[in-house]
């Protein structure tokens, strides 16, 4: 048995305890020294970060004018009622009175339970919005009513003194003064998407507040005009307490840099006239046809000497003012699900259609320039020619008929009248060859693939809008790769008249006509004329420039495309250069003789002035000379196929007409396209005539005012 300790703790235990205490003190002391000495700077920085915050100051977005300084897009105040939960009265009765007063004036319910959403999206009551704010950041001002009427905002501002925590603020929103008239061109703004969040945060944007361009000029090609219009946000530092209440501003802050403004090449007056002409004609065609047709049409007006777009109408369209505050889900889905008209698509540049007989200008230019035909040589059009199948030459069942739109034919036709009458048989023969009249393959598919890209087909032209499509000029390799078949003479016959696999955007068709009108210069098509500062001073002017010249006698290497376009954005130069690299065999310049262009122009003049010209009586101007080309493009897409309208020999047709004036010195080129519009001259011709008449009338008015 151990001896009693008389209640005393053994010395070994005391020593052990003291040792543990000393060790703990050393540990705590060492840790304290480490934190306060060695980690001092890091924790000071953390403490400073906790009480300091950087507040982003929004930059005013630039506005947009038309060429006559009419304001197309401006910033207007939208009044918003906010509540700071931490600043509300302690009395619940007073809080309820505040809720009731705001609800009476704004119409926002006091109680309405709904899922959390972005600010200003309907579906939640005032109480729920304040509770959400109190839970997340009680010293932040939380919106409870947005887009408040100005009179209501004024009343609430007067009563703010009796409603602690309530504030009425004005935030800038976009006001599109011309709405749907220019929405396909202007576009709209939307919230920063998650996939671009990191990029825009690096640029100083706040993803929960700032908006970016989603379409049209508001974004530009590859964000070109988004950067110009947006400016750069400012930044200031504030000191705050643990609850997030701002105590004071500290240090220096950077002022926001306002966005630059844009002046467009568009004349809003001409835009309005073009839209009205298109709508009236489309409505007439639909009523006279007795069946519903997709309400899809395009009008583009361009200065052929500069490439400036004077008007660009795409129907159907949408109302971009409905997207100014937030994007309504139901309206957006309605637009997106309209697969007949696709209102969110700018059909002038982003939709591809068979160009029909407007494409015959390519065939005519190429055949005459390459010596397939002479201007005086006449070819006989009996109304129908038959192409034998070379594998079964004695089997009439294997042969295929190619017909002219005029059943009994045009008889003997020379070059300029082939264009004037839009004689199918004439173009079949010069484009694909025919017996002894045009030996060999005529211009052939290889010739088409040389001249069509040179006139602007088959690849983007570098317009400064997003969404431009390529179009398609098929060749042997394309058919073999995509259809697994060899190219046939019938394919060539279809191609040379703008049918078969050929597709083009309305802008490409217009560019081909404008190029021939100005003597062979393919101009850069553009919408923006100038960039302006806040005082209206010109920062940069987008000068007209020649992408390439098909008649200057110089072969232009691909790398030198747009070399003389210093004001053309580099991104667009690269687009044109790279896309054309894929479509040109060797060069964008096929060295077309000036006399060839002169004869093509003469044929286009006869389209309007010859009694048998395809546009005579439909597109003649009273006092101004003009020239043009009609087109009636057969098609069979899913819309008409589902309705059983794709019948052999009776396919539905699109309407085209492109023209320029004056004939001697062109100032304007216009194209009209109507989906399922029937004959080009009948439907599209009067539209172009109205736009041309309006242009010269407006010009006379402007000259008279200037005197």
- CB neighbours of 403 closer than 8 A, spacing ≥ 6? 383, 384, 424, 425
Q: Tell me which of 233 and 116 has the higher pLDDT.
A: 233
Is this structure's pTM higher than 0.85? yes
Q: Which of 428, 373, 440, 374 is nearest to 403 (CA)?
A: 428
* Class at the top of the CATH hierarchy for domain 54-264: alpha beta
Q: What mean pLDDT do residues 74-95 have?
A: 91
**Confidence band of 697 (pLDDT split at 50, 70, 90):** very high
Tens digit of pLDDT for each residue in 499-541? 999 999 999 999 999 999 999 999 999 999 999 998 889 999 9
Q: Which of 468, 464, 471, 469 is nearest to 571 (CA)?
A: 464
Strands 64-65 and 261-264: parallel
Specify the domain boundaries for CATH 3.40.710.10 within the chain: 269-706
Flag whether pLDDT at 48 surpasses 70: no
CA distances for 637 relative to 352, 353, 642, 651, 679, angstroms: 12, 10, 9, 10, 18
In whole angstroms, what is the distance from residue 572 CA to residue 221 CA?
8
Q: What mean pLDDT do residues 232-236 have?
A: 82
Supply 544's token pair. 């007209």
Flag whether pLDDT at 376 surpasses 50: yes
Give the DSSP H/E element, type plus range, for residue 509: helix 506-517
DSSP 459-497: S----SSTT----B---HHHHHHHHS----HHHHHHHHT
- How much is the pLDDT for 182? 97
Tens digit of pLDDT for each residue in 206-215? 888 889 999 9
- How much is the pLDDT for 10? 80
Whether residue 62 contacts residue 260, with contact meaning beta carbons closer than 8 Å, is answered with: yes
Task: Determine what percent of the chain is predicted with pLDDT higher than 70.
Answer: 90
Kindly report the average pLDDT of the chain as a whole number.
88
Task: Determine what percent of the chain is predicted with pLDDT higher than 90.
Answer: 57
Flag whether pLDDT at 239 surpasses 80: no
Neighbouring CB atoms inside 10 A of 101's CB total: 16
Flag whether pLDDT at 375 surpasses 60: yes
Tens digit of pLDDT for each residue in 316-337? 999 999 998 878 888 988 898 8
Flag whether pLDDT at 23 surpasses 90: no
Whether residue 175 contacts residue 321, with contact meaning beta carbons closer than 8 Å, is answered with: yes
Preceding amide of 662 cis, omega within 30: yes
Specify the domain boundaries for CATH 3.90.1310.10 within the chain: 54-264
CA distances for 76 relative to 59, 63, 288, angstroms: 14, 11, 44
Which position has the token pair 């309705």? Answer: 643
Tens digit of pLDDT for each residue in 149-197? 999 999 999 998 889 989 998 888 999 999 999 999 999 999 999 899 9
- How much is the pLDDT for 393? 46
- How much is the pLDDT for 209? 83
- How much is the pLDDT for 651? 87
Query: Strand, coil or helix: what is 164?
Result: coil
- How much is the pLDDT for 392? 42
- How much is the pLDDT for 391? 41
Tens digit of pLDDT for each residue in 288-297? 877 677 789 9
143 - beta bridge partners?
A: 82
Q: What mean pLDDT do residues 96-120 have?
A: 85
Supply 106's token pair. 């704004």
Lowest average pLDDT, out of 237-241, 361-365, 657-661, 678-682, goes to 237-241
In whole angstroms, what is the distance from residue 285 CA to residue 252 CA?
66
- How much is the pLDDT for 377? 96
232 - beta bridge partners?
A: 257
- Fold of the 269-706 domain: Beta-lactamase (3.40.710)
- How much is the pLDDT for 154? 93
Flag whether pLDDT at 542 surpasses 90: yes
Q: Which of 59, 61, 63 is nearest to 257 (CA)?
A: 59
Query: Strand, coil or helix: what is 413?
Result: strand
- CB neighbours of 211 closer than 8 A, spacing ≥ 6? 189, 190, 191, 192
Tens digit of pLDDT for each residue in 416-470? 999 999 999 999 999 999 988 998 899 999 999 999 999 999 999 999 999 999 9
Flag whether pLDDT at 544 surpasses 50: yes
Tens digit of pLDDT for each residue in 573-592? 888 877 777 666 545 567 89
Tens digit of pLDDT for each residue in 379-407? 999 988 988 655 444 444 446 788 888 88
Whether residue 187 contacts residue 213, with contact meaning beta carbons closer than 8 Å, is answered with: yes
Flag whether pLDDT at 52 surpasses 80: no
Neighbouring CB atoms inside 10 A of 103's CB total: 18
Preceding amide of 316 cis, omega within 30: yes
> How does 357-367 read in b/e, with b if 16+ C-beta sit within 10 Å?
bbbbbbbbbbb
Tens digit of pLDDT for each residue in 616-655? 999 999 889 999 999 999 988 888 888 888 887 788 899 9
Lowest average pLDDT, out of 237-251, 295-309, 544-558, goes to 237-251
- How much is the pLDDT for 600? 98
């Amino acid at each position: 048995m151990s001896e009693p300790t008389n209640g005393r703790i053994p010395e070994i235990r005391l020593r052990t305890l003291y040792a543990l205490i000393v060790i703990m003190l050393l540990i705590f002391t060492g840790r304290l020294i480490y934190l306060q000495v060695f980690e001092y700077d890091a924790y000071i920085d953390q403490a400073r970060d906790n009480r300091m915050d950087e507040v982003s100051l929004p930059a005013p977005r630039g506005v947009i004018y038309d060429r006559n300084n009419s304001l197309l897009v401006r910033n207007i105040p939208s009044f918003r009622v906010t509540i700071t939960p931490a600043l509300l009265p302690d009395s619940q009765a007073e809080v309820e009175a505040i809720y009731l007063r705001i609800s009476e004036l704004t119409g926002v319910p006091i109680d309405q339970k709904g899922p959390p959403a972005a600010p200003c999206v309907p579906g939640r009551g005032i109480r729920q919005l304040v509770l959400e704010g109190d839970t997340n950041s009680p010293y932040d001002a939380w919106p409870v009513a947005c887009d408040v009427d100005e009179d209501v905002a004024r009343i609430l501002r007067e009563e703010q003194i009796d409603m602690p925590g309530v504030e009425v603020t004005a935030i800038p929103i976009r006001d599109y003064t011309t709405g749907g008239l220019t929405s396909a061109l202007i576009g709209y703004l939307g919230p920063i998407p998650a996939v671009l969040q990191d990029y825009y945060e690096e640029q100083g944007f706040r993803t929960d507040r700032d908006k970016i361009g989603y379409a049209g000029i508001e974004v530009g090609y590859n964000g070109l005009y988004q950067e110009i219009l947006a400016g750069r946000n400012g930044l200031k530092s504030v000191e705050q307490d643990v609850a997030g209440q701002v105590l004071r501003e500290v240090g220096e802050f950077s002022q926001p840099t306002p966005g630059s403004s844009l002046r467009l090449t568009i004349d809003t007056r001409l835009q309005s006239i073009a839209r009205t002409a298109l709508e009236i004609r489309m409505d007439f065609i639909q009523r006279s046809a007795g069946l519903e047709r997709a309400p899809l049409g395009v009008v583009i007006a361009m200065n052929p000497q500069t490439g400036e777009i004077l008007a660009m109408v795409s129907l159907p369209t949408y109302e971009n003012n409905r997207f100014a505050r937030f994007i309504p889900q139901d309206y957006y889905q309605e637009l997106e699900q309209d697969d007949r008209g696709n209102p969110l698509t700018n059909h002038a540049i982003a939709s591809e259609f068979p160009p029909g007989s407007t494409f015959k200008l390519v065939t005519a230019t190429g055949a005459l320039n390459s010596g397939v035909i002479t201007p005086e040589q006449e070819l006989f059009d009996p109304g129908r020619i038959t192409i034998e199948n070379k594998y079964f030459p004695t089997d009439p069942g294997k042969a295929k008929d190619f017909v002219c739109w005029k059943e009994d034919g045009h008889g003997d036709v020379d070059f300029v009248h082939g264009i004037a009458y839009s004689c199918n048989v004439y173009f079949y023969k010069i484009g694909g060859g025919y017996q002894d009249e045009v030996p060999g393959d005529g211009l052939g598919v290889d010739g088409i693939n040389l001249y069509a890209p040179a006139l602007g087909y088959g690849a983007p032209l570098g317009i400064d809008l997003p969404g431009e499509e390529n179009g398609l000029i098929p060749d042997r390799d394309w058919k073999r790769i995509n259809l697994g078949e060899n190219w046939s003479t019938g394919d060539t016959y279809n191609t040379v008249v703008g049918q078969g696999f050929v597709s083009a955007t309305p802008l490409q068709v217009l560019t081909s006509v404008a190029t021939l009108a100005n003597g062979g210069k393919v101009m850069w098509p553009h919408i923006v004329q100038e960039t302006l500062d806040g005082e209206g001073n010109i920062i940069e002017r987008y000068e007209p420039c020649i992408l390439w010249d098909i008649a200057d006698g110089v072969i232009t290497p691909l790398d030198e495309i747009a070399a003389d376009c210093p004001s053309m954005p580099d991104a667009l130069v690269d687009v044109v250069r790279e896309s054309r690299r894929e479509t040109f065999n060797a060069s964008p310049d096929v060295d077309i003789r000036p006399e060839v262009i002169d004869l093509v122009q003469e044929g286009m003049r006869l389209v309007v002035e010859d009694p048998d010209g395809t546009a005579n009586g439909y597109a003649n101007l009273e006092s101004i000379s003009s020239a043009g080309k009609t087109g009636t493009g057969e098609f069979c897409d899913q819309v008409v196929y589902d309705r059983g309208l794709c019948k052999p020999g009776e396919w539905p047709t699109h309407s085209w007409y492109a023209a320029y004036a004056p004939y001697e010195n062109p100032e304007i080129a216009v194209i009209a396209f109507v989906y399922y519009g029937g004959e080009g001259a009948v439907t599209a011709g009067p539209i172009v005539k109205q736009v041309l008449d309006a242009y010269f009338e407006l010009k006379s008015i402007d000259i008279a005012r200037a005197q």
